[in-house]
Amino acid sequence: MLLTLAALWHDVGKFSQRARWGERRRHEEWGAEWLEKRLLPRLGFLTEEGRRRVATLIRRHHEHRPYERDLRALQLADRLSSGERMEREGEETGDPARDRLIPVFVRVRLPERLPVSLEANPPTYRVAPFRLDDVVFPEPPVPSLERPSAEPGYPGLWQEFEAAWQAFPADAPTFAEPEAFVMTSLSLLRAYAWCVPSAAYRSEPDVSLADHLQVTAALALCLWPLSDEALSRLEEDPFASVEVACLVGGDVTGIQRFLYTISSRGAAKSLRGRSAYLGLLCDAAAEFVRRSLELPPCNLLYSTGGHFYLLAPLVSSDRLAKVREELLETLLAYLGGDVALVLEAVSLCGADFRIAPKERESPLAARWAELATRLRERKDALLREQAVAFPEKVFGPFGAGGTEFCVVCHAERNEPEELHRLRLRRPLEPEPGEEGGKCSLCRSFEDLARDIARAEYLLLRPAARPPEGTLAWHSVLQALSAEMWLGDRKLVLERYRPGDWVLRLNEADLRPVRGNGRAVPVVGFRFLPCFSPFENEGAIRDMEKLAGDSVGVDCYGALRMDVDNLGRVFAEGLGGAASLSRMMTLSRMLALFFEGYLNVLCRKADPAGRHLYLLYAGGDDLFAVGSWDRILKLAALVREEFRRYTCWNPSLTVSAGASLHHPKYPLYQAAADAKAFLEAAKKSRHPDGHEKDAFGFWGRTVDWDRTYPWLEAWHRRLWEWLAEGRIRRAFLFKLGEIAELHRARERKFSQPFCLSGVELHCLAQHDRWLWKLYYYAAKEEPAVDELLQELQAGRIDCLQLLVRWVELSARGA
């Protein structure tokens, strides 16, 4: 643990140094001195000798050829982690006191979507504590002549960082438990050092200090068990072909089936709980693997969107098979195979950490792709693996037959039968006024949805015993040795016990939870998509009310969105610059947008909090329902803000699919319809040759940059003119008739230049849409003349969608 602590804090002196740039001292001295005075004396789990040893390791981590094993491991970890740095071109050096962090998105490029000169004059992040607002959006660079002699944000940022540490109560688990201290350290570094470059003098400042410190700490633990021969070879050449660590990947499988095969009235509440449950399950599984391999929290690189990755010592590979079997058996016993998790690993050698920025390929990206391939193959073989290990649980028989089953998930009473051995029940409870009932698990998902909607904290506790009683969402997590509660300040104050971990949700704030004369410590933070529509009395609104509050027709909308070419972005996007820190940062920043900032966007699209329901948001995708007009607003807002968030890089785009439905239309079918429109959008090709980056708008694929803004602008104008009486509804019907004539013409004559004379005569009859446009242009007032001229000039193919949009908005007005 001493090595992990020293590695995690070895470069904190660079942060302190930038805040006091006029005082010339080595960053090793700054860091060791600050830890000795401010932090190490508060760590009750360390002896006095242990505190001295941590400070000594930090002070000496640049010493030439040390002989102690822990210092050698620290130096090698730092050198491997620093191998990702991209040297500045030319002789000009950077200024650590002024240079800001360059976003990782600048480095992403796909061959067919080359970015617009981002690297020559890149945007940068502001120097400020992390917040879910404009802080996370890069700013244009400031010309050198206008920049101050030192970045004014660093002194203030450092002071806030120190104040955050001082705010922890003396009895906080942070100072009593090594793992809690590492967790808190990671959280505060991500909150305050997320925007501090790890190097800027001779290197491009595109890796944050927080990420560099975490990767170094994770690597140091992996290097320590290596043989003396391996360490010596790496000291001669850190990028030698010597195996140094295992990259372990976990992937939750069955997500689509688990989420979208449910049915019944009120399924939206169950779906919201199910989607949140998958995120919590992924976190619990990642923690289970981490603890089983005896790794500190810094070795969990990230966990999001049903995936997690850890860095582990080479000796851990021998224990993965047992951990995999335990996970498989647990999920099969409690969930009957509805959800499973695959676990795989690849070894990393020193050569994988060397980057070649001018090359298109990176050794680390190849290892990452290899791990992804192994995970896919493990998924494909999962049923066979389950059948061999647990044949009776796969082949049955299952259930007792009959007509009693859950109206949401269709499970029979107490299914799977393994629950009886586990002392658990899955009873069915009847629904008032309806046939059938809901099982205890589906009811618990509805409870979870209500808890999440207003949750401010996540409370974690190691499970002391296996679950018993009624099967609920927390039962499987408890079987994985994790108890969890989601709630507000009152819940934390009531349930907290010494040793528990409290995480604040959707805010990078680690101030204690105060009340009833107590101060409950917070050890970290987590982002969780939780935007929900409420009634005045606090209940979550159902689909009928969401549809009824739409502008115009009483329908609800469904929206599916995800990032285009995500697999290629990770496999190819960073090219030769791919490194562990950059890959980790890219994943975490994408997840931050969809799991954290998406709550902010929902609030912008629905300030009253009564029209949108964010049912699912993972590492790179989302599913939302709500009043249909707000769904369209959210789709455009997400696309616009995602482009700004990713520096307007054309290699990073999103596609969307939106569908429109009657209030009683099944939610699972609406999800399928929106997904089909999304898939159609991903098959689109633009005039410049690039694919995807499109919107499946009610079954019609439109491009984001040209067609959708035109539709949106003319929808607004026609709707306003209709409300003002400047045009009549009859005009909309005329436009609809023209659109249908044009559509019929396109269906019958797709290749007019190959037609016979008789067919050309017939074509003239079908081109009535054109002369009708001229006719109406002469007849209507000048206000609509611009629209009619644009339709004649090539927008006619968008007319049907425009008319439908305006009609639906004006219905009932």
Closest CA to 331 of 422, 459, 414: 422
Identify the three-state secondary structure at position 591: helix
CB 235 within 8 A of CB 241: no
Closest CA to 612 of 486, 453, 504: 453
Distance CA 684, CA 582 (A): 30
Tens-place pLDDT, residues 41-82:
998 899 999 999 999 999 888 888 888 899 999 999 998 988
Tens-place pLDDT, residues 145-156:
555 555 678 899
What residue segments make up the domains of the chain, in order of their start? 2-238, 244-403, 543-711, 716-810
pLDDT band of residue 458 (cuts 50, 70, 90) is very high
* Residue 681: per-residue pLDDT: 95
Between the alpha carbon of residue 471 and those of residues 143, 282, 340, 486, 706, the distances in Å are 61, 19, 17, 18, 51
Distance CA 578, CA 743 (A): 48
CATH number of 244-403: 3.30.70
Q: Which residue has the higher pLDDT, 97 or 451?
A: 451
CB 80 within 8 A of CB 355: no
Tens-place pLDDT, residues 656-700:
999 999 998 988 899 999 999 999 999 998 887 788 999 999 999
- Which residue in the block uniquely carries the two structure tokens 């193919």? 797
Q: Do 244-403 and 543-711 agree at the fold level?
A: yes
Q: Which residue has the higher pLDDT, 504 or 757?
A: 504
Q: What is the pTM of this model?
A: 0.89
Closest CA to 574 of 480, 652, 517, 514: 652
Read off φ and ψ for residue 698, nearest 5 degrees: 55, 40
Q: Angle of helix 707-724 relative to helix 729-748, nearest 10 degrees?
A: 150
pLDDT band of residue 380 (cuts 50, 70, 90) is confident
Average pLDDT over residues 131-151: 71
pLDDT band of residue 603 (cuts 50, 70, 90) is very high
Read off φ and ψ for residue 235, nearest 5 degrees: -70, -30
* Residue 762: per-residue pLDDT: 46
Read off φ and ψ for residue 445, nearest 5 degrees: -65, -35
Task: For the chain, state the CA radius of gyration.
Answer: 29
Q: HSE (CB half, 13 Å, CA atoms) of 104?
A: 26
Tens-place pLDDT, residues 552-580:
999 999 999 999 999 889 888 888 888 88
Average pLDDT over residues 437-456: 89
Q: Dihedral sign for Cα 512, 161, 188, 152, please.
A: positive
> Other C-beta atoms within 10 Å of 42: how many?
17
First to last CA, the chain: 68
* Residue 555: per-residue pLDDT: 94
Q: Is residue 761's pLDDT more than 50? A: no
Q: In 504-627, which ranges are continuous DSSP H helix?
A: 543-548, 566-568, 580-592, 598-605
Closest CA to 54 of 40, 67, 43: 40
Average pLDDT over residues 338-363: 87
- Sort strands 694-697 and 654-661 into parallel, antiparallel or unpaired: parallel
- Sort strands 501-505 and 524-526 into parallel, antiparallel or unpaired: parallel
* Residue 153: per-residue pLDDT: 86
Q: Is residue 192's pLDDT more than 90? A: yes
Distance CA 314, CA 2 (A): 20
Tens-place pLDDT, residues 293-340:
999 999 999 888 888 999 999 998 889 999 998 998 888 888 887 888
Take residue 208 and report the two structure tokens written for it: 């944050």
Mean pLDDT, the chain, whole residue set: 85
pLDDT band of residue 758 (cuts 50, 70, 90) is very low
* Residue 696: per-residue pLDDT: 95
Q: Which residue has the higher pLDDT, 50 or 434?
A: 50
Q: HSE (CB half, 13 Å, CA atoms) of 460?
A: 22
> Other C-beta atoms within 10 Å of 395: how many?
9
Q: Which residue has the higher pLDDT, 63 or 590?
A: 590
Percent of the chain with pLDDT over 90: 43
pLDDT band of residue 394 (cuts 50, 70, 90) is low
**Which residues, at least 6 apart from 256, have a Cβ–Cβ distance to it below 8 Å?**
none
Q: Which of 189-203, 413-427, 709-723, 744-758 has the lowest mean pLDDT?
A: 744-758
Closest CA to 198 of 310, 99, 50, 322: 99
Distance CA 313, CA 311 (A): 7
Q: Angle of helix 580-592 relative to helix 363-380, nearest 10 degrees?
A: 60
**Homologous superfamily of the 543-711 domain (CATH):** Reverse transcriptase/Diguanylate cyclase domain (3.30.70.270)
